[in-house]
Amino acid sequence: MRRCLADAIVVAAGRGRRFGGGENKVLFALHGKPIWQHAVEALQGSGRIGQIVMVIRPEDRGPVRELAHALNIHLTDGGNERYDSVQAGLAALQQLPLLANPSHRTRLVAVHDAARPLVSATEIGDVVDAAERTGAAVLATPIRGTLKRRDDLGNTTTINRNELWEALTPQVFRFDIIDSAYRRWRGRPVTDDAEMVERSGFPVTLVPGSAENLKITRAEDLTLAHAILSQRNSFTADNS
């Protein structure tokens, strides 16, 4: 049976204020490669991704241009906010051969954070399959910890976590759905791409993902990612 392919937008234009320092966090090394390269190679290695556009800051083109060319991915400049960068990625995809043809606007588009280098091929395949069935799907993990809400007076209440999930990436959508949502809600503050689609009244399917698919936001996240990769490499060596 033919497996559906999705094109991908890799968002790498963040400023990483919580990571510390002025350098883009996705340029930092993880097991000898920049973080963003792990994310791109995970997508390419899944067998479910076609063309890839990576959205970057203009000042980061120099450090990534040569490697991006070797990996056969396209670069485009991002904006001040995440939604600006994703919309720039959508526009760049439309200039590529397949999506330049309006008849292919029902192709799938996967939006993935460059700061999530540990996504697995299984996760990518599962969320692409779900989006092929429903038009919109996101990886997510159930909330495991106890959640508290604190009001302005400092009073706390416990939140029922049974229906709460943490959204991950990739988030995969039919191109026409995500493109229409961004055109309609551009400039509105949102936390992820699924929220744009939800605001447009289109249901989004949750697909169980792995807690290892973490987003590197702080320096300690990079330490944890090193440990996870070391464990994976050790397991692979032991079973080869």
Task: Give CA separation, 167 vs 28, 112, 190, 207, in Å.
Answer: 24, 12, 13, 9
User: pLDDT value at position 103?
Assistant: 58
User: pLDDT value at position 162?
Assistant: 87
Alpha-carbon distance 43 to 86, whole Å? 17
Residue-wise burial string across 158-197, b where 16 or more C-beta atoms lie within 10 A, e elsewhere: eeeeeeeeebbbbbbbbbebbbbbbeebeeeebebbbbbb
Number of domains comprising the chain? 1
In this structure, is residue 155 part of a structural domain?
no
In this structure, is residue 160 part of a structural domain?
no
8 A C-beta contact, residue 60 and residue 81: no
User: pLDDT value at position 102?
Assistant: 60
In this structure, is residue 39 part of a structural domain?
yes
Alpha-carbon distance 49 to 41, whole Å? 10
In this structure, is residue 216 part of a structural domain?
yes
Task: List phi, psi (to 5°) of 27.
Answer: -85, -10
User: pLDDT value at position 15?
Assistant: 67
In this structure, is residue 182 part of a structural domain?
yes
**Quick one: which of 183, 167, 186 has its CA closest to 175?**
183
pTM (2 d.p.): 0.91
Alpha-carbon distance 171 to 95, whole Å? 21
Beta strands in 125-199 (DSSP E): 136-142, 147-150, 156-159, 165-174
Which element (helix H / strand E) includes 66?
helix 61-70
Instruction: Name the pairing type of β-strands 29-30 and 33-34.
Output: antiparallel
In this structure, is residue 213 part of a structural domain?
yes
The token pair that represents 198 in the structure block: 């939800």
Determine if the peptide bond prior to 97 is cis (ω within 30°): no
In this structure, is residue 113 part of a structural domain?
yes
Task: List phi, psi (to 5°) of 55.
Answer: -95, 120
Q: What is the CATH number of the domain that holds 110?
A: 3.90.550.10
In this structure, is residue 148 part of a structural domain?
no
Instruction: Give the range of the structural domain holding residue 24, as residue numbers without chain letter.
Output: 6-138+167-238
Tokens 């390419």 belong to which residue?
A: 44
pLDDT in tens, the chain (240 residues): 457 789 999 999 876 555 556 678 999 999 999 999 999 999 999 999 999 999 999 999 999 999 999 999 999 999 888 889 999 999 999 988 766 556 566 689 999 999 999 999 999 999 999 999 999 999 999 998 898 999 898 899 999 888 899 999 999 999 999 999 998 887 777 889 999 999 999 999 999 999 999 999 999 999 999 999 999 887 666 666
User: pLDDT value at position 40?
Assistant: 98
Which element (helix H / strand E) includes 37?
helix 35-45
